[in-house]
Amino acid sequence: MDDQTRRNVVNRLKSVGGHINGIVNMVEDDRYCIDVIKQIQAVQAALARTSEIILGNHLNTCVTAAMQGDDLDERERVMREILEVFRTENRSK
């Protein structure tokens, strides 16, 4: 992961962490349920976007390198990893 992407991902995750703490405070303060749910959904969207950034970086670096390489086993391994990510994502929906 290049430095810019790493900084972007770290900043997003730190922001998500702050939002999680805010949600904890909302629950502790017995805030309106729908407001809590909206904040949870915002965090889920932020995590999904962060995951997309990491996946895009992985496709543009690791996967591209494996596909351009001569190692057939490595190409197949990388493709299995990508498929597993999508399987896991689809199971969570």
pLDDT at 10: 98
In 3D space, the residue among 55, 53, 74 whose CA is nearest the CA of residue 8 turns out to be 53
What number of other Cβ atoms are within 10 A of residue 63's Cβ?
17
What number of other Cβ atoms are within 10 A of residue 76's Cβ?
11
DSSP 31: -
Tell me how far apart the alpha carbons of residues 63 and 50 are, in angstroms, rounded to a whole number: 18
Please write the tens of the pLDDT for every residue from 39-90. 999 999 999 999 999 999 999 999 999 999 999 999 999 999 999 988 887 7
Domains of the chain: 3-91 (1.20.58.1000)
In single-letter form, the type of residue at position 56 comes to G
The radius of gyration computed from the CA coordinates of the chain, to the nearest angstrom, equals 18
